[in-house]
Homo-oligomer: A and B are copies of this chain.
Amino acid sequence: MTTASSPYARITDMLSNVSNFNIIDTTLREGEQFANAFFNTEQKLKIAKALDDFGVEYIELTSPVASEKSREDNEKICQLGLKCKVLSHIRCHMHDASVGVETSVDGLSVVIGTSSYLRKFSHGKDMDAIYKAAGEVVTFIKSKGKEVRFSSEDSFRSDLVDLLRLYRHVDKLGVNRVGVADTVGCANPRQVYELIRTLRGVVNCDIECHFHNDTGCAIANAYCALEAGATHINTTILGIGERNGIVPLGGFAARMYVADKTYVTNKYNLHMIRDIENMVADFVEIQIPFNNYITGYCAFTHKAGIHAKAILNNPTTYEILRPEDFGMTRYVSIGHRLTGWNAVKSRCEQLDLHLTDDEIKEVTRKIKELADIKPLGIEEVDSLLRVYNKKLEQTSHENIAAAADAAGAEIKDESSN
Protein backbone atom coordinates (compact mmCIF):
# COMPACT_ATOMS: atom_id res chain seq x y z
CA MET A 1 0.00 0.00 0.00
CA THR A 2 2.99 2.38 0.04
CA THR A 3 3.24 4.67 -2.95
CA ALA A 4 6.09 5.07 -5.36
CA SER A 5 9.71 5.62 -4.62
CA SER A 6 9.94 8.06 -7.55
CA PRO A 7 10.95 11.65 -6.77
CA TYR A 8 7.59 12.99 -7.97
CA ALA A 9 5.44 10.63 -5.91
CA ARG A 10 2.55 12.04 -3.93
CA ILE A 11 2.50 11.82 -0.18
CA THR A 12 1.10 8.44 0.86
CA ASP A 13 -2.61 8.37 1.56
CA MET A 14 -4.02 5.43 3.52
CA LEU A 15 -6.97 5.02 1.16
CA SER A 16 -5.01 5.36 -2.08
CA ASN A 17 -4.69 2.21 -4.18
CA VAL A 18 -2.17 3.62 -6.64
CA SER A 19 0.16 0.85 -5.45
CA ASN A 20 -2.49 -1.79 -4.96
CA PHE A 21 -4.93 -2.21 -7.84
CA ASN A 22 -6.34 -4.85 -10.17
CA ILE A 23 -7.00 -4.72 -13.89
CA ILE A 24 -10.25 -6.01 -15.38
CA ASP A 25 -9.58 -6.11 -19.08
CA THR A 26 -12.76 -5.93 -21.14
CA THR A 27 -11.38 -6.18 -24.69
CA LEU A 28 -13.68 -9.19 -25.14
CA ARG A 29 -16.76 -7.19 -24.06
CA GLU A 30 -16.33 -3.42 -24.38
CA GLY A 31 -13.76 -4.04 -27.13
CA GLU A 32 -16.31 -6.10 -29.05
CA GLN A 33 -18.47 -2.96 -29.13
CA PHE A 34 -15.76 -1.16 -31.15
CA ALA A 35 -17.06 -0.41 -34.64
CA ASN A 36 -14.49 -2.66 -36.37
CA ALA A 37 -14.47 -5.52 -33.90
CA PHE A 38 -15.78 -8.91 -34.87
CA PHE A 39 -13.71 -11.53 -33.08
CA ASN A 40 -14.02 -15.14 -34.14
CA THR A 41 -13.54 -17.93 -31.60
CA GLU A 42 -9.87 -18.43 -32.33
CA GLN A 43 -9.17 -14.70 -31.97
CA LYS A 44 -11.05 -14.55 -28.68
CA LEU A 45 -9.02 -17.43 -27.29
CA LYS A 46 -5.77 -15.78 -28.39
CA ILE A 47 -6.74 -12.47 -26.77
CA ALA A 48 -7.77 -14.20 -23.53
CA LYS A 49 -4.48 -16.12 -23.32
CA ALA A 50 -2.38 -13.05 -24.12
CA LEU A 51 -4.11 -10.98 -21.44
CA ASP A 52 -3.61 -13.80 -18.95
CA ASP A 53 0.09 -14.01 -19.82
CA PHE A 54 0.38 -10.23 -19.49
CA GLY A 55 -0.97 -10.61 -15.98
CA VAL A 56 -4.38 -8.94 -15.78
CA GLU A 57 -6.39 -10.14 -12.79
CA TYR A 58 -9.70 -10.44 -14.64
CA ILE A 59 -11.07 -10.57 -18.16
CA GLU A 60 -14.66 -9.63 -18.96
CA LEU A 61 -16.64 -11.26 -21.78
CA THR A 62 -19.71 -10.31 -23.80
CA SER A 63 -23.00 -11.48 -22.30
CA PRO A 64 -23.95 -15.10 -23.12
CA VAL A 65 -27.38 -13.68 -23.93
CA ALA A 66 -26.00 -11.54 -26.80
CA SER A 67 -25.84 -14.43 -29.26
CA GLU A 68 -25.48 -18.19 -29.37
CA LYS A 69 -21.85 -17.91 -30.42
CA SER A 70 -21.12 -15.52 -27.55
CA ARG A 71 -22.40 -18.13 -25.11
CA GLU A 72 -20.37 -20.94 -26.70
CA ASP A 73 -17.20 -18.86 -26.83
CA ASN A 74 -17.58 -17.91 -23.16
CA GLU A 75 -17.48 -21.62 -22.33
CA LYS A 76 -14.42 -22.19 -24.49
CA ILE A 77 -12.58 -19.34 -22.77
CA CYS A 78 -13.49 -20.74 -19.36
CA GLN A 79 -12.04 -24.10 -20.43
CA LEU A 80 -8.63 -22.54 -21.11
CA GLY A 81 -7.79 -22.78 -17.41
CA LEU A 82 -6.45 -19.25 -17.17
CA LYS A 83 -4.83 -17.83 -14.05
CA CYS A 84 -7.04 -14.74 -14.27
CA LYS A 85 -10.70 -14.82 -13.32
CA VAL A 86 -13.31 -14.72 -16.07
CA LEU A 87 -16.39 -12.50 -15.86
CA SER A 88 -19.31 -11.97 -18.16
CA HIS A 89 -21.27 -8.78 -18.51
CA ILE A 90 -25.05 -8.89 -18.16
CA ARG A 91 -27.96 -6.50 -17.89
CA CYS A 92 -29.71 -6.26 -14.54
CA HIS A 93 -32.44 -8.75 -15.56
CA MET A 94 -33.33 -12.07 -13.98
CA HIS A 95 -33.35 -13.63 -17.42
CA ASP A 96 -29.75 -12.59 -18.14
CA ALA A 97 -28.70 -13.63 -14.64
CA SER A 98 -30.31 -17.05 -14.95
CA VAL A 99 -28.45 -17.69 -18.22
CA GLY A 100 -25.23 -16.27 -16.77
CA VAL A 101 -25.15 -18.47 -13.66
CA GLU A 102 -25.42 -21.58 -15.87
CA THR A 103 -22.15 -20.73 -17.65
CA SER A 104 -18.70 -21.53 -16.27
CA VAL A 105 -17.53 -17.96 -15.64
CA ASP A 106 -16.23 -16.99 -12.20
CA GLY A 107 -18.48 -14.00 -11.89
CA LEU A 108 -21.11 -11.78 -13.44
CA SER A 109 -20.79 -8.04 -14.01
CA VAL A 110 -24.31 -6.65 -13.67
CA VAL A 111 -25.09 -3.21 -15.10
CA ILE A 112 -28.06 -0.86 -15.21
CA GLY A 113 -28.39 2.76 -16.30
CA THR A 114 -29.10 5.15 -13.44
CA SER A 115 -28.94 8.59 -15.05
CA SER A 116 -32.21 10.33 -15.84
CA TYR A 117 -31.15 10.09 -19.51
CA LEU A 118 -30.93 6.32 -19.47
CA ARG A 119 -33.87 5.79 -17.13
CA LYS A 120 -36.09 7.76 -19.47
CA PHE A 121 -34.78 6.78 -22.91
CA SER A 122 -33.22 3.36 -22.39
CA HIS A 123 -34.95 0.99 -19.95
CA GLY A 124 -37.76 3.20 -18.61
CA LYS A 125 -37.38 2.11 -14.95
CA ASP A 126 -37.46 4.53 -11.99
CA MET A 127 -34.98 4.35 -9.11
CA ASP A 128 -37.28 2.23 -6.94
CA ALA A 129 -37.62 -0.36 -9.69
CA ILE A 130 -33.84 -0.34 -10.17
CA TYR A 131 -33.35 -0.76 -6.42
CA LYS A 132 -35.67 -3.75 -6.42
CA ALA A 133 -34.23 -5.37 -9.56
CA ALA A 134 -30.67 -4.90 -8.27
CA GLY A 135 -31.50 -6.63 -5.01
CA GLU A 136 -33.20 -9.53 -6.72
CA VAL A 137 -30.46 -10.10 -9.30
CA VAL A 138 -27.57 -9.74 -6.85
CA THR A 139 -29.18 -12.08 -4.32
CA PHE A 140 -29.86 -14.66 -7.00
CA ILE A 141 -26.29 -14.61 -8.38
CA LYS A 142 -24.82 -14.78 -4.85
CA SER A 143 -27.02 -17.80 -4.11
CA LYS A 144 -25.47 -19.58 -7.07
CA GLY A 145 -21.98 -19.05 -5.68
CA LYS A 146 -20.67 -16.69 -8.35
CA GLU A 147 -18.77 -13.46 -7.84
CA VAL A 148 -21.00 -10.47 -8.55
CA ARG A 149 -20.36 -6.88 -9.42
CA PHE A 150 -23.18 -4.37 -9.52
CA SER A 151 -22.56 -1.25 -11.59
CA SER A 152 -24.56 1.78 -12.42
CA GLU A 153 -24.22 3.06 -15.98
CA ASP A 154 -23.72 6.77 -16.72
CA SER A 155 -22.88 7.21 -13.03
CA PHE A 156 -21.62 10.77 -13.42
CA ARG A 157 -24.96 12.01 -14.72
CA SER A 158 -26.88 10.18 -11.99
CA ASP A 159 -28.26 11.66 -8.79
CA LEU A 160 -25.63 11.28 -6.06
CA VAL A 161 -28.06 10.36 -3.30
CA ASP A 162 -29.84 7.79 -5.48
CA LEU A 163 -26.48 6.28 -6.40
CA LEU A 164 -25.16 6.04 -2.86
CA ARG A 165 -28.41 4.53 -1.62
CA LEU A 166 -28.31 1.91 -4.38
CA TYR A 167 -24.65 1.06 -3.79
CA ARG A 168 -25.17 0.69 -0.04
CA HIS A 169 -28.12 -1.59 -0.72
CA VAL A 170 -26.15 -4.01 -2.91
CA ASP A 171 -23.10 -3.77 -0.63
CA LYS A 172 -25.22 -5.00 2.28
CA LEU A 173 -26.47 -7.85 0.08
CA GLY A 174 -22.85 -8.97 -0.23
CA VAL A 175 -21.86 -7.85 -3.72
CA ASN A 176 -18.11 -8.30 -4.39
CA ARG A 177 -17.71 -4.98 -6.16
CA VAL A 178 -19.74 -1.93 -7.00
CA GLY A 179 -19.01 -0.34 -10.35
CA VAL A 180 -18.84 3.32 -11.30
CA ALA A 181 -19.01 3.97 -15.04
CA ASP A 182 -18.43 7.14 -17.02
CA THR A 183 -20.36 5.70 -19.93
CA VAL A 184 -20.46 8.92 -21.96
CA GLY A 185 -16.93 10.19 -21.19
CA CYS A 186 -18.01 13.37 -19.43
CA ALA A 187 -16.25 12.96 -16.07
CA ASN A 188 -13.20 14.95 -15.05
CA PRO A 189 -10.47 13.90 -12.61
CA ARG A 190 -11.34 15.90 -9.50
CA GLN A 191 -15.00 15.02 -9.88
CA VAL A 192 -14.01 11.35 -10.08
CA TYR A 193 -11.83 11.67 -7.01
CA GLU A 194 -14.64 13.22 -5.02
CA LEU A 195 -17.28 10.67 -6.02
CA ILE A 196 -15.02 7.68 -5.36
CA ARG A 197 -13.77 9.09 -2.05
CA THR A 198 -17.37 9.60 -0.96
CA LEU A 199 -18.35 6.10 -2.09
CA ARG A 200 -15.32 4.67 -0.27
CA GLY A 201 -16.96 5.85 2.97
CA VAL A 202 -20.31 4.29 2.09
CA VAL A 203 -19.53 0.73 0.97
CA ASN A 204 -17.23 -1.96 2.31
CA CYS A 205 -16.85 -3.92 -0.91
CA ASP A 206 -14.33 -3.28 -3.70
CA ILE A 207 -14.88 -0.43 -6.19
CA GLU A 208 -14.50 -0.97 -9.92
CA CYS A 209 -14.28 1.91 -12.42
CA HIS A 210 -14.96 2.17 -16.14
CA PHE A 211 -14.00 5.34 -17.99
CA HIS A 212 -14.73 6.33 -21.59
CA ASN A 213 -12.34 8.65 -23.36
CA ASP A 214 -14.53 11.01 -25.40
CA THR A 215 -12.93 14.05 -23.77
CA GLY A 216 -9.45 12.71 -23.11
CA CYS A 217 -9.67 12.04 -19.37
CA ALA A 218 -10.02 8.23 -19.23
CA ILE A 219 -6.51 7.38 -17.99
CA ALA A 220 -6.36 10.39 -15.67
CA ASN A 221 -9.77 9.54 -14.24
CA ALA A 222 -8.65 5.97 -13.59
CA TYR A 223 -5.60 7.29 -11.77
CA CYS A 224 -7.65 9.67 -9.62
CA ALA A 225 -10.14 6.90 -8.87
CA LEU A 226 -7.30 4.77 -7.50
CA GLU A 227 -6.03 7.70 -5.46
CA ALA A 228 -9.51 7.99 -3.97
CA GLY A 229 -9.71 4.31 -3.08
CA ALA A 230 -11.04 2.46 -6.12
CA THR A 231 -9.63 -1.07 -6.40
CA HIS A 232 -10.30 -2.31 -9.96
CA ILE A 233 -9.88 -0.53 -13.30
CA ASN A 234 -11.42 -1.54 -16.64
CA THR A 235 -9.10 -1.45 -19.66
CA THR A 236 -9.10 -2.70 -23.23
CA ILE A 237 -6.22 -3.33 -25.58
CA LEU A 238 -5.58 -0.05 -27.47
CA GLY A 239 -8.62 1.32 -25.63
CA ILE A 240 -11.06 -0.07 -28.22
CA GLY A 241 -14.76 0.20 -27.33
CA GLU A 242 -17.94 2.13 -28.10
CA ARG A 243 -17.18 5.40 -29.89
CA ASN A 244 -13.51 6.28 -29.35
CA GLY A 245 -13.17 3.80 -26.50
CA ILE A 246 -12.00 3.55 -22.90
CA VAL A 247 -8.79 3.36 -20.80
CA PRO A 248 -6.14 1.66 -22.96
CA LEU A 249 -4.17 -1.12 -21.25
CA GLY A 250 -0.81 0.22 -22.51
CA GLY A 251 -1.46 3.84 -21.55
CA PHE A 252 -2.74 2.79 -18.15
CA ALA A 253 0.40 0.70 -17.62
CA ALA A 254 2.52 3.75 -18.52
CA ARG A 255 0.65 5.94 -16.02
CA MET A 256 0.89 3.43 -13.17
CA TYR A 257 4.55 2.65 -13.97
CA VAL A 258 5.34 6.30 -13.36
CA ALA A 259 3.45 6.18 -10.06
CA ASP A 260 4.95 2.92 -8.82
CA LYS A 261 7.45 1.32 -11.15
CA THR A 262 8.30 -1.60 -8.86
CA TYR A 263 4.68 -2.61 -8.33
CA VAL A 264 3.84 -2.46 -12.03
CA THR A 265 6.97 -4.14 -13.38
CA ASN A 266 6.72 -6.96 -10.82
CA LYS A 267 3.07 -7.61 -11.57
CA TYR A 268 2.68 -7.24 -15.32
CA ASN A 269 4.68 -8.49 -18.27
CA LEU A 270 5.22 -5.08 -19.87
CA HIS A 271 7.31 -6.48 -22.72
CA MET A 272 4.17 -8.07 -24.13
CA ILE A 273 2.30 -4.82 -24.75
CA ARG A 274 3.60 -4.31 -28.26
CA ASP A 275 2.77 -7.82 -29.44
CA ILE A 276 -0.69 -7.82 -27.85
CA GLU A 277 -1.50 -4.46 -29.43
CA ASN A 278 -0.25 -5.56 -32.83
CA MET A 279 -2.35 -8.71 -32.63
CA VAL A 280 -5.56 -6.87 -31.79
CA ALA A 281 -4.87 -4.09 -34.31
CA ASP A 282 -4.55 -6.83 -36.91
CA PHE A 283 -7.81 -8.49 -35.81
CA VAL A 284 -9.82 -5.26 -35.98
CA GLU A 285 -7.95 -3.87 -39.00
CA ILE A 286 -6.65 -0.65 -37.56
CA GLN A 287 -3.22 0.95 -37.45
CA ILE A 288 -1.50 1.59 -34.14
CA PRO A 289 -1.93 5.38 -33.68
CA PHE A 290 1.25 7.35 -34.37
CA ASN A 291 1.00 8.79 -30.86
CA ASN A 292 0.12 5.59 -29.03
CA TYR A 293 1.45 5.26 -25.49
CA ILE A 294 4.72 3.30 -25.28
CA THR A 295 4.44 1.61 -28.68
CA GLY A 296 3.64 4.57 -30.95
CA TYR A 297 6.57 4.85 -33.33
CA CYS A 298 7.73 8.17 -31.91
CA ALA A 299 7.12 7.49 -28.20
CA PHE A 300 10.87 7.28 -27.58
CA THR A 301 12.13 9.58 -30.35
CA HIS A 302 13.99 12.73 -29.28
CA LYS A 303 14.45 15.51 -31.74
CA ALA A 304 15.06 19.09 -30.51
CA GLY A 305 18.75 19.86 -29.95
CA ILE A 306 18.44 20.55 -26.23
CA HIS A 307 16.42 17.37 -25.72
CA ALA A 308 18.87 15.24 -27.69
CA LYS A 309 21.86 16.67 -25.82
CA ALA A 310 20.39 15.95 -22.40
CA ILE A 311 19.08 12.50 -23.35
CA LEU A 312 22.57 11.52 -24.50
CA ASN A 313 23.95 12.67 -21.15
CA ASN A 314 21.24 10.94 -19.12
CA PRO A 315 17.95 9.55 -20.46
CA THR A 316 16.00 10.37 -17.30
CA THR A 317 16.21 14.04 -18.28
CA TYR A 318 13.45 13.67 -20.87
CA GLU A 319 12.20 10.13 -20.27
CA ILE A 320 10.12 8.92 -17.38
CA LEU A 321 9.46 5.59 -19.07
CA ARG A 322 12.57 3.48 -19.63
CA PRO A 323 12.06 2.06 -23.12
CA GLU A 324 13.96 -1.11 -22.13
CA ASP A 325 11.31 -1.89 -19.49
CA PHE A 326 8.74 -2.15 -22.28
CA GLY A 327 10.98 -3.97 -24.75
CA MET A 328 11.35 -0.78 -26.79
CA THR A 329 14.36 1.27 -27.91
CA ARG A 330 15.20 4.96 -27.89
CA TYR A 331 15.97 6.95 -31.04
CA VAL A 332 17.71 10.30 -31.12
CA SER A 333 16.99 12.14 -34.36
CA ILE A 334 19.77 14.45 -35.56
CA GLY A 335 19.42 15.25 -39.29
CA HIS A 336 17.04 18.20 -39.00
CA ARG A 337 17.07 21.98 -38.55
CA LEU A 338 16.42 21.77 -34.80
CA THR A 339 19.48 19.61 -34.15
CA GLY A 340 22.30 20.55 -31.78
CA TRP A 341 26.03 19.90 -31.71
CA ASN A 342 25.90 17.64 -28.65
CA ALA A 343 23.70 15.19 -30.50
CA VAL A 344 26.06 15.32 -33.48
CA LYS A 345 29.02 14.77 -31.16
CA SER A 346 27.41 11.64 -29.79
CA ARG A 347 26.94 10.32 -33.33
CA CYS A 348 30.60 11.04 -34.17
CA GLU A 349 31.61 9.00 -31.13
CA GLN A 350 29.40 6.12 -32.29
CA LEU A 351 31.06 6.29 -35.71
CA ASP A 352 34.51 6.48 -34.07
CA LEU A 353 35.35 9.82 -35.73
CA HIS A 354 37.68 11.91 -33.62
CA LEU A 355 36.69 15.57 -34.03
CA THR A 356 37.22 18.53 -31.75
CA ASP A 357 34.22 20.41 -30.34
CA ASP A 358 34.86 23.29 -32.73
CA GLU A 359 34.94 20.91 -35.65
CA ILE A 360 31.67 19.34 -34.53
CA LYS A 361 30.04 22.75 -34.14
CA GLU A 362 31.10 23.57 -37.69
CA VAL A 363 29.64 20.41 -39.18
CA THR A 364 26.46 20.93 -37.09
CA ARG A 365 26.11 24.34 -38.76
CA LYS A 366 26.34 22.54 -42.11
CA ILE A 367 23.74 19.91 -41.11
CA LYS A 368 21.31 22.66 -40.04
CA GLU A 369 21.92 24.51 -43.30
CA LEU A 370 21.22 21.43 -45.43
CA ALA A 371 18.32 20.26 -43.27
CA ASP A 372 16.73 23.70 -43.50
CA ILE A 373 15.97 22.74 -47.11
CA LYS A 374 15.21 19.03 -46.63
CA PRO A 375 15.65 16.80 -43.56
CA LEU A 376 18.52 14.32 -43.75
CA GLY A 377 18.25 10.60 -43.12
CA ILE A 378 20.70 9.04 -40.71
CA GLU A 379 22.71 7.60 -43.66
CA GLU A 380 23.12 11.08 -45.12
CA VAL A 381 24.24 12.47 -41.77
CA ASP A 382 26.75 9.62 -41.39
CA SER A 383 28.01 10.16 -44.91
CA LEU A 384 28.44 13.89 -44.26
CA LEU A 385 30.34 13.23 -41.04
CA ARG A 386 32.66 10.70 -42.70
CA VAL A 387 33.41 12.89 -45.72
CA TYR A 388 33.99 15.88 -43.41
CA ASN A 389 36.42 13.85 -41.31
CA LYS A 390 38.33 12.79 -44.46
CA LYS A 391 38.50 16.38 -45.79
CA LEU A 392 39.80 17.55 -42.39
CA GLU A 393 42.55 14.94 -42.47
CA GLN A 394 43.50 15.85 -46.04
CA THR A 395 43.81 19.53 -45.11
CA SER A 396 45.49 18.90 -41.74
CA HIS A 397 42.47 20.40 -39.92
CA GLU A 398 43.43 23.83 -41.20
CA ASN A 399 40.14 25.22 -42.48
CA ILE A 400 37.20 23.55 -40.80
CA ALA A 401 34.55 25.74 -42.47
CA ALA A 402 35.86 24.92 -45.95
CA ALA A 403 35.94 21.20 -45.09
CA ALA A 404 32.32 21.31 -43.88
CA ASP A 405 31.19 23.14 -47.03
CA ALA A 406 33.06 20.71 -49.26
CA ALA A 407 31.59 17.72 -47.44
CA GLY A 408 28.11 19.26 -47.71
CA ALA A 409 28.56 19.80 -51.46
CA GLU A 410 29.75 16.23 -51.92
CA ILE A 411 26.80 14.58 -50.16
CA LYS A 412 24.36 16.90 -51.97
CA ASP A 413 25.79 15.69 -55.29
CA GLU A 414 25.47 12.08 -54.14
CA SER A 415 21.84 12.45 -53.14
CA SER A 416 20.90 14.20 -56.39
CA ASN A 417 22.43 11.40 -58.48
Contact = CB atoms under 8 A, between A and B. Distances in A.
Interface of A: 7-8, 10, 32-36, 38, 62, 66-70, 91, 113, 117-118, 120-122, 154, 156-157, 183-191, 193, 213-221, 223-224, 227, 238-240, 242-245, 248, 251-252, 254-255, 257-259, 286-287, 289-293, 296-307, 309-310, 313-314, 316-321, 331, 333, 336-338, 368-369, 371-375
For A243, A293, A369, the residue with the greatest tally of chain B CB atoms inside 10 Å of its CB is: A243
A150 B118 CA distance: 48
A318 to B, nearest CB: 6
Nearest to A227: B190
B220 A35 contact: no
A251 B216 contact: yes
A291 B216 contact: no
B217 A67 contact: no
Contact of A121 (B183, B239, B314): B314
A301 B243 contact: yes
A191 B298 contact: no
Contact of A310 (B122, B291, B331): B122
Contacts of A10: 188, 190-191
A216 B215 contact: no
Given A216-B251, A216-B252, A216-B255, 18 more contacts: A8-B156, A8-B187, A10-B188, A33-B303, A33-B304, A33-B338, A35-B297, A35-B298, A67-B369, A68-B369, A70-B372, A117-B310, A188-B255, A214-B293, A215-B219, A215-B255, A217-B255, A244-B291
A302 B242 contact: yes
B243 A299 contact: yes
Contacts of A319: 184
Contact of A221 (B121, B220, B301): B220
A45 B351 CA distance: 38
A394 to B, nearest CB: 28
18 contacts: A38-B374, A38-B375, A67-B371, A67-B372, A69-B372, A69-B373, A118-B310, A118-B317, A121-B310, A121-B314, A189-B224, A215-B258, A215-B320, A238-B291, A242-B301, A243-B300, A244-B293, A287-B287
A290 B287 contact: yes
A306 B122 contact: yes
Contacts of A302: 242-243
Contact of A219 (B216, B290, B316): B216
A291 B215 contact: no
Given A122-B317, A310-B121, A157 B7 contact: yes
A184 B245 CA distance: 25
A337 B67 contact: yes
Contacts of A183: 318
For A8, A287, A318, the residue with the greatest tally of chain B CB atoms inside 10 Å of its CB is: A318
A268 B178 CA distance: 40
A200 to B, nearest CB: 15
Contacts of A331: 35
Q: Please give me the 3 A-B residue pairs with the lowest Cβ-Cβ distance, nearest first.
A: A220-B220, A216-B219, A289-B289
Nearest to A7: B157
B35 A188 contact: no
Contacts of A299: 214, 243-244
A320 B214 contact: yes
Contacts of A336: 38
A223 B227 contact: no
Contacts of A193: 190
A188 B13 CA distance: 15
B189 A117 contact: no
Given A68-B369, A184-B320, A223 B217 contact: yes
A359 to B, nearest CB: 20
Contact of A314 (B117, B221, B316, B318): B117
Given A38-B336, A338-B62, A254 B215 contact: yes
